[in-house]
Each structure stands twice: as C-alpha cells, then as structure tokens.
Homo-oligomer: A and B are copies of this chain.
C-alpha cells in the first residue's frame, strides 16, 4: 500500500510515518518502490507502526520502541527480556507517580492552609501563605 493508505490504517500522519522512517524505525528498501518511485508499504510495516503506537502509549520513547521492535524481529523478545524491560518501565512509572502524588499533596496542603489562615475579606494583596519562601 502507499503512504496515504498506511496513514489511514495506522492512524499516524504521513509526516509522522516519514519521520519514523527517517529515524530508522521503519525501513523501505529501494526495491520496495513502484516504477514511479512511490514506496510500497507492506503489512509488516503497518504492524510495526501499530506496535510503535502501543509502545508509545505505555510511555516507551521512540528509541526504546526501536530496540523492542528489533528484538521482536530477531525473536529475542523473550518472556524474560520483555518482562525485564516492562518492570523497568513500571519502576519509572511508580517513581514518577510517587513524585507527583507528593507534589499534589503539597499543593493541596498549601491551599488548605491558606483557607484556614487567610482573611477572605482582604483579598487585596499577595497571599502570605501561598506566596512565601516556604511554598511558592
């Protein structure tokens, strides 16, 4: 299929597909072109793009995705290899989640403190609670 069809089927834009090709995530050989020099994309390429989309959804970068795709291609995406990569990603996610939870709690606490300490009748100046060296 041509790039327009591939874009429609993959849900990615033509520019994105070209970008992935330039980055090396997909490869089109010289002999995979039509006589008019248009590239003929195979079902394998479509599958590869769909895998990239799923990996990206899980937070894998394009480079990480390329690594995984190559492992799949040479059949080294074994249970242990992939599990290991997934567990690393989970650890990163967990760390990030903890970080964000702590931050949101700090922000919430700041607002709570403001509500209980500030005088709502005098809103004409910077908040002494939220705008301070100990907070923002």
Contacts and interface: CB of A to CB of B under 8 A. Distances in A.
A77 B127 contact: yes
Nearest to A120: B79
A136 B68 contact: yes
- Oligomer copy total: 2
Given A78-B123, A79-B127, A104 B93 contact: yes
B133 A82 contact: no
7 contacts: A50-B133, A75-B124, A77-B126, A77-B131, A83-B115, A86-B111, A96-B100
Interface of A: 47, 50-51, 54-55, 57-59, 68, 72, 75-80, 82-83, 86-87, 89-90, 93-94, 96-97, 100-101, 103-104, 106-108, 110-111, 114-115, 118, 120, 123-127, 129-131, 133, 135-136
